[in-house]
Amino acid sequence: MHRDNPDSRPRIGLIGGGSMGSLFGRHLAEIADVTIMESNEAVRAGLEREGLRVNDAEPRKIRVATRARELFSSDVLFLFVKAVDTLRALRPFAGELNPTTAIVSLQNGVGNEDAIKTALGGAVPVILGVTTESAETIAPGAVRSSEQGMTLIGSAGASAATAQAVATLLSKGGLRAAVVYDIKPHLWGKLVANAAVNALSAILDCTAGDILREPDAARLAESLAEEAAAVAAALKISLPFANPWQYVTDVIAVGAESKSSMAFDLELGNKSEIDHLNGAVVALGRRAGVATPFNEAIVRLMKSLESLRARKGALPV
């Protein structure tokens, strides 16, 4: 889908070179010219030195950018930053991208469309999606993955043809992908699972599978999922499953021995996505008149933990 020459390789930009950016970047590099913009100097150095590698496949060299302008000519721009960083990451691109450049977000949460359009304008061709692909970083640019997931995308301002072109790119790169007419139910389905698992994994410092093995933790996770599903129902969003807790347990089974990304954020002192996950359930619940006491408690606990970690980190040794 090269704009200027249909016979040339597409130009793909990725913002964020973490585990998911590395996984998708390696696959897309099979059929496109890939440039990754990464702010972490150590990660950037590793990407430049080693390229991208998934499991035991040969590494593939890609371009590594330090400035936004190196991605201005992208035909497609993928976001692989935390939802909390979307506005900051995209502001340098305002007014600089070709109006036909598709912005693809596979991020957590349900507020990414608004953040993208706040940064770039309401007419930007946005594609939102969810993926069950998983990746674990073993070194900068090197990840382990089952590569058995599925990516669903849908338009949030892009044409149907553009959405299909992005799905085709992913498929040609070796990733299973499909276009759905309405992506919102799938975004909310992912939110239900994230709200049930991510913060609990961080607070308890445990894997997703541990949550199921501990009856009290499992009951709490089920309550979190039920509240999120109730908010979706009040907003007239038809979730892609009948039983929220069964769906959550199915999701956990895929990555049972992994901690959530929020757990790693807490360990590293990074700002978490709590406001975009459980916090979004609470905020939208208030708007819809649905009580969400379990999610509100989790938000308060997570924010307290973040504040305590930050204070301890600031103390002199």
**Residue whose entry in the numeric block shows the structure tokens 């930053």:** 81
**Active-site option among 82, 117, 172, 190:** 190
Question: What secondary structure, in 3-state letters, does the chain show?
Answer: CCCCCCCCCCEEEEECCCHHHHHHHHHHCCCCEEEEECCCHHHHHHHHHHCEEECCCCCECCEEECCHHHHCCCCEEEECCCHHHHHHHHHHHCCCCCCCCEEEECCCCCCHHHHHHHHHCCCCCEEEEEECCCCEEEECCEEECCCCCCEEEEECCCCHHHHHHHHHHHHHCCCCEEECCCCHHHHHHHHHHHHHHHHHHHHHCCCHHHHHHCHHHHHHHHHHHHHHHHHHHHCCCCCCCCCHHHHHHHHHHHCCCCCCHHHHHHHHCCCCCHHHCHHHHHHHHHHHCCCCHHHHHHHHHHHHHHHHHHHHHHCCC
- d(CA 153, CA 93) in angstroms, rounded, equals 23
**Residue 190 is among the residues annotated as catalytic for this protein:** yes
In this structure, the number of other CB atoms found within 10 A of the CB of residue 257 comes to 9
The residues that bridge with 102 in the sheet, in sequence order, are: 76
Write out the catalytic residue numbers. Answer: 190
